[in-house]
């Protein structure tokens, strides 16, 4: 399944579900964000049954990004039971995203 | 024991050199795989507009060009994997590539791992890239027409960047940690005579000042320790590049800067191993020279494979 773009309400709803939620905070003007895009779609495909893999456009959801203290993009945050367990800024490879997810899930 | 799959050709790195090799290899009927750790394009993917790749008269953004190159290679049967190579044995037969996605084997290997600009290593540097921080004057210089820019560095690429920017920007300030340029003599006189160019010798950038975008830099004199602020719209970091050759150290001959020694044939010191694009020793590192290497490497690989090895 493709990574879904969520707004604040939708994200809140997802966080109340059973699955952990992975969010990529991004913006259309951000080159580094664009570069992780294809690998992130692959992540969505591979982890679809364990995780909700989502995206938040910080230009559209500025308040949400601020509330989550996202200062630099791309930032990936993994939420379990509605709480942020870990985050990573600008991962340099798909392998780095894999490792981040596995470590965050184990926390 | 399960028989291992041996590719005819594995490309390491999905930039323009890598995907051109994949295109030529796939079209030659070779069983071809590209290993890319993040997404197609390499350095090119971060270039907002490429105006010196022929055939795109209005320019094209690097990310899109990279996707096109990938799709073109895949149209002829080349495969791609999001794999980070962790170890390579290039002397084995077949050659062995251990990656984050498992181990792959190939008769020939094209190394297209590229080079990365050296960073200053300051906080927010990555986040401000494209928002005031740049690593390539030829790529991004035009965005600073009539503005104030800082160039950091004192070698040939910094000098070339300053030469280019002094014609575009209103004011150029060159910050260098020594008291003289390391760049070759040809640059000295024109730079010294340029009216809109100011030198800050014996100085290093210690902080990037920013709001949404970069607004200036803090500069420290390395002798006196004195610090002051230079307001500016852009900073071009030109402190060299580092080729991504850590994984082949000890297996391939490298030059003093770490580039893989290979001439126009792209052949390295190991049979069946080729180096294309920015990672190889060459006078000009551009998309057009990388794609040319990709084609040549496959020509050489075909000869090698036909030799019955």
- Averaged pLDDT, B285-309: 93
Q: Above 70 in pLDDT, residue B6?
A: yes
Asked if B44 and B26 sit in the same domain, the reply is yes
**Which secondary structure element, helix H or strand E, spans residue B98, and what is its range?**
strand B95-99
Domain boundary residue, one of B237, B254, B288: B237
Asked if B126 and B103 sit in the same domain, the reply is no
Query: Contacts of residue A35 in chain B, CB cutoff 8 Å?
Result: 38-39, 41, 45-46, 63
Q: What are the tens digits of pLDDT across the range A13-27?
A: 999 999 999 999 998
Which of A27, A5, A14, A33 lies closest to A78, judged by CA?
Answer: A14
Asked if B219 and B138 sit in the same domain, the reply is yes
Query: Contacts of residue B126 in chain A, CB cutoff 8 Å?
Result: 32, 72, 89-90
Asked if B109 and B249 sit in the same domain, the reply is yes
Q: What percent of chain B has pLDDT over 70?
A: 98
Tell if the CB–CB gap between A34 and B63 is shorter than 8 Å: yes
Q: Above 80 in pLDDT, residue A1?
A: no
- Averaged pLDDT, A25-36: 88
Asked if B140 and B226 sit in the same domain, the reply is yes
Residue A28's pLDDT is 86
Q: What percent of chain A has pLDDT over 70?
A: 100
Indicate the pLDDT class of residue B294, thresholds 50, 70 and 90: very high
Asked if B196 and B233 sit in the same domain, the reply is yes
Q: Find the CATH number of the domain harbouring B253.
A: 3.50.50.60
Q: In whole numbers, what is the pLDDT of chain B averaged over residues?
A: 94
Query: Contacts of residue B101 in chain A, CB cutoff 8 Å?
Result: 95
Query: Contacts of residue A29 in chain B, CB cutoff 8 Å?
Result: 130
Asked if B161 and B136 sit in the same domain, the reply is yes
* B1 lies in some domain: no
Asked if B24 and B110 sit in the same domain, the reply is yes
Residue B309's pLDDT is 47
Residue with structure tokens 């190939």? B106
Q: Above 90 in pLDDT, residue B297?
A: yes
Q: How many CB pairs under 8 A join A and B?
A: 59
Among all residues of chain B, which has the CA nearest to that of A72? B127
Q: What are the tens digits of pLDDT across the range B200-211?
A: 999 999 999 999
Q: Above 50 in pLDDT, residue B45?
A: yes
Domain boundaries, chain A: 4-89
Among all residues of chain B, which has the CA nearest to that of A31? B46
* B64 lies in some domain: yes
Q: What percent of chain B has pLDDT over 90?
A: 79
Distance, CA of B143 to CA of A48 (rounded, Å): 41
Asked if B100 and B55 sit in the same domain, the reply is yes
* B125 lies in some domain: yes
- Which CATH superfamily hosts domain A4-89? Glutaredoxin (3.40.30.10)
Q: What are the tens digits of pLDDT across the range A60-75?
A: 999 999 899 887 788 9
> Long-range contacts: A83-92, Cβ < 8 Å, 24+?
A85/A20, A89/B126, A89/B127, A90/A32, A90/A36, A90/B126, A90/B127, A91/A36, A92/B37, A92/B38
Other residues' Cβ atoms within 10 Å of the Cβ of residue B142? 12
Question: Which of the residues A94, A96, A102 would you substitute to probe the B interface, choosing the one with the greatest number of B C-beta atoms within 10 Å?
Answer: A94
Tell if the CB–CB gap between B82 and A36 is shorter than 8 Å: no
Domain boundary residue, one of B222, B237, B252: B237
Q: Does B116 touch chain A (CB under 8 A)?
A: no
Residue B1's pLDDT is 56
Asked if B45 and B140 sit in the same domain, the reply is no
Q: What are the tens digits of pLDDT across the range B122-179?
A: 999 988 887 899 887 876 787 799 999 999 999 988 998 999 899 999 999 999 999 9
Residue B2's pLDDT is 67
Residue with structure tokens 């150029």? B172
* B231 lies in some domain: yes
- β-sheet bridge partners, residue B234: B149
- Averaged pLDDT, B85-113: 97
Q: In whole numbers, what is the pLDDT of chain A averaged over residues?
A: 92
Q: Does B41 touch chain A (CB under 8 A)?
A: yes
Domain hosting residue B167, numbered range: 119-237
Q: Is A72 an annotated catalytic residue? A: no
Q: What are the tens digits of pLDDT across the range B215-253?
A: 999 999 999 999 999 999 999 999 988 999 999 999 999
Q: Is A30 an annotated catalytic residue? A: yes
Tell if the CB–CB gap between A31 and B83 is shorter than 8 Å: no
Q: Rounded to whole angstroms, what are the CA distances from B261 to A72, B80, B103, B151, B282?
A: 38, 26, 26, 30, 9
Asked if B233 and B297 sit in the same domain, the reply is no
* B54 lies in some domain: yes
Instruction: ipTM value, please give it.
Output: 0.89
Other residues' Cβ atoms within 10 Å of the Cβ of residue B69? 25
Query: What is the model's pTM?
Result: 0.81
Domain boundary residue, one of B213, B237, B261: B237
């Amino acid at each position: 399944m493709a990574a879904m773009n969520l707004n604040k309400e939708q994200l809140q709803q997802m966080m109340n579900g059973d699955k952990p939620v992975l969010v990529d905070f991004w913006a259309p003007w951000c080159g580094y964000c664009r570069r992780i895009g294809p690998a992130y779609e692959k992540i969505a495909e591979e982890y679809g049954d364990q995780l909700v893999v989502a995206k938040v456009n910080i230009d559209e959801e500025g308040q949400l990004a601020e509330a989550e203290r996202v200062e630099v993009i791309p930032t990936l945050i993994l939420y379990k039971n509605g709480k942020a367990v870990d985050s990573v800024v600008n991962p340099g490879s798909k392998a780095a995203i894999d490792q981040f997810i596995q470590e965050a899930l184990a926390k | 024991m399960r028989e291992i799959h041996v590719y005819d050709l594995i490309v390491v790195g999905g930039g323009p050199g890598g995907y051109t090799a994949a295109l030529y290899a796939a079209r030659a009927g070779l069983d071809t795989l590209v290993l890319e750790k993040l997404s197609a394009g390499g350095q090119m993917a971060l270039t907002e507009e490429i105006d010196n790749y022929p055939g795109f008269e209005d320019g094209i953004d690097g990310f899109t060009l990279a996707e096109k190159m990938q799709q073109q290679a895949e149209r002829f049967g080349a495969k791609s994997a999001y794999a980070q190579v962790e170890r390579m044995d290039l002397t084995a037969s077949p050659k062995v590539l251990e990656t984050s996605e498992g181990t792959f084997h190939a008769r020939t290997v094209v190394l297209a791992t590229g080079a990365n600009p050296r960073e200053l290593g300051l906080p927010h540097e990555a986040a401000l890239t494209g928002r005031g921080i740049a690593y390539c004057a030829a790529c991004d210089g035009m965005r600073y027409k009539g503005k104030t820019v800082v160039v950091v560095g004192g070698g040939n690429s910094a000098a070339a960047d300053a030469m280019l920017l002094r014609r575009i920007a209103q004011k150029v300030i060159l910050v260098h940690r020594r008291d003289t340029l390391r760049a070759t003599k040809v640059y000295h006189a024109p730079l010294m005579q340029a009216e809109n160019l100011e030198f800050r010798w014996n100085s290093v950038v210690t902080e990037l000042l920013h709001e949404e975008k970069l607004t200036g830099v803090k500069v420290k004199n390395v002798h006196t320790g004195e610090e002051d602020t230079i307001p500016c719209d852009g900073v071009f970091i030109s402190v060299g590049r580092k080729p991504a050759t850590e994984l082949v150290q000890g297996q391939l001959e490298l030059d003093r800067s770490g580039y893989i020694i290979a001439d126009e044939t792209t052949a390295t010191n190991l049979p069946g191993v080729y180096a294309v694009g920015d990672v190889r020793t060459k006078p000009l590192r551009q998309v057009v020279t990388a794609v040319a290497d990709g084609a040549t490497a496959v020509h050489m690989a075909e000869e090698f494979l036909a030799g019955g090895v």
